[in-house]
Amino acid sequence: MEATKNNRTSEGKCFWKVKIVSEAHLESWIKDYFGGLDIRHRKDGSSVITGKLNDMPALYGLFLCLRDAGIVFHSLEAEKVGCSRH
């Protein structure tokens, strides 16, 4: 899904942009567990999970996956983009 310059997706829908910083490096199997989100290891031993989610249920599902996998994180950012504010 690609965003245009006004943060709307090419289909004109909103999405959630997420960034999560975990306490430790995450193992390679976890990338499949998170269904397409990008995972990058940092030199300080932490990992950064980033990506886009389609809707609030997907965002909530990510929170549940973090909990179920026992992942401890330092920060979690979620921003709804591409929607007009009324």
Per residue in 46-77, pLDDT (tens digit) is: 999 999 999 999 999 998 988 988 899 999 99
Taking a C-beta distance cutoff of 8 angstroms, is the pair 51, 19 a contact? no
In a domain, 9, yes or no: no
In a domain, 3, yes or no: no
pTM for the full predicted model: 0.75
Q: Report the distance separating Cα 16 and Cα 71, nearest Å.
A: 20
Q: Which amino acid is at 83?
A: C
Q: Classify each residue of 35-74 as buried b or exposed e, where b means 16 or more C-beta atoms within 10 Å of its C-beta.
A: eebebeeeeeebbbbebbbeeeeeeeebeeebeeeebeee
| CATH assignment at residue 74 | 3.30.70.120
In a domain, 6, yes or no: no
pLDDT in tens, 39-53: 999 999 999 999 999
Identify the domain containing residue 56 by its residue range. Answer: 15-81
Domain count, the chain: 1
